[in-house]
Amino acid sequence: MTTLKELAKLLNISVSTVSKALNDSHEISEQTKIRVHELAEKLNYKPNRIAQQLKTNKTKTIGVILPTVTNPFFAEVLHGVETAASKNDYDIIVCLSEETCAKEARSLELLSNGSVDGFIIAVARESQVKQQWDHIDSIIDRKIPVLMFDRVVKDIVCDKVIVDDFQSVYEATKYLIEEEKRKNILLISNIEELSVGKLRIKGYKQAVEENNLTSDVLKLDNVDDVEEALFNYLKKNKDIDAIISNDHITGIVAINMARKLGKEIPKDISVIGFGYENTQIISSPKISIIHQKAFEIGEISIKLLIENLNNEAHELQTIIVPSELKLSGSTKKA
Given the rule CB under 8 A, which residues bind its own copies? 1, 44, 46-51, 53-54, 59, 61, 68-70, 72, 75-76, 78-79, 82-83, 86, 91-96, 98, 103, 107, 110-115, 142, 223-224, 226-227, 249, 252-253, 256-257, 259-260, 276-278, 281-284
Nearer to its own copies, 93 or 156 (CB): 93
Nearer to DNA, 11 or 325 (CB): 11
CB 150 within 8 A of CB 196: yes
CB of 28 to DNA, least distance (A): 4
Nearer to its own copies, 163 or 253 (CB): 253
Nearer to its own copies, 112 or 206 (CB): 112
20 binds, among its own copies, DNA, none (CB under 5 to 8 A by kind): DNA
Nearer to its own copies, 104 or 165 (CB): 104
CA-to-CA distance for 99 and 136, rounded, in angstroms? Answer: 15
CB of 144 to DNA, least distance (A): 14
Phi first, then psi, for residue 68 (nearest 5°) are -165, 165
Nearer to its own copies, 173 or 245 (CB): 245
Give the Cα-Cα-Cα angle 294, 299, 304 (nearest 5 degrees).
Answer: 125
211 binds, among DNA, its own copies, none (CB under 5 to 8 A by kind): none
CB of 1 to DNA, least distance (A): 6
CB of 241 to its own copies, least distance (A): 21
59 binds, among DNA, its own copies, none (CB under 5 to 8 A by kind): its own copies
CB 127 within 8 A of CB 101: yes
The upper half-sphere exposure of residue 289, i.e. CA atoms within 13 Å in the direction of its Cβ, equals: 22
16 binds, among DNA, its own copies, none (CB under 5 to 8 A by kind): DNA
CA-to-CA distance for 64 and 246, rounded, in angstroms? Answer: 25
Nearer to its own copies, 12 or 44 (CB): 44
Which residues lie near DNA (CB under 7 A)?
A: 1, 3-5, 12-17, 19-20, 22-23, 25-29, 31-32, 45-48, 51-52, 54-57
CA-to-CA distance for 34 and 9, rounded, in angstroms? Answer: 16
Phi first, then psi, for residue 92 (nearest 5°) are -125, 135
CB 95 within 8 A of CB 63: yes
CA-to-CA distance for 105 and 136, rounded, in angstroms? Answer: 8
Phi first, then psi, for residue 311 (nearest 5°) are -110, 110
13 binds, among DNA, its own copies, none (CB under 5 to 8 A by kind): DNA
334 binds, among its own copies, DNA, none (CB under 5 to 8 A by kind): none
CA-to-CA distance for 160 and 236, rounded, in angstroms? Answer: 42
Query: Which ranges constitute the DSSP H helices of the chain?
Result: 4-11, 15-22, 30-42, 49-56, 72-87, 101-111, 125-130, 134-141, 165-178, 195-210, 226-236, 250-260, 294-310
156 binds, among DNA, its own copies, none (CB under 5 to 8 A by kind): none
235 binds, among DNA, its own copies, none (CB under 5 to 8 A by kind): none
**Which residue in 128, 158, 155 sits closest to 144, CA to CA?**
158
Nearer to DNA, 36 or 169 (CB): 36
The 10 Å Cβ neighbour count of residue 86 is 12
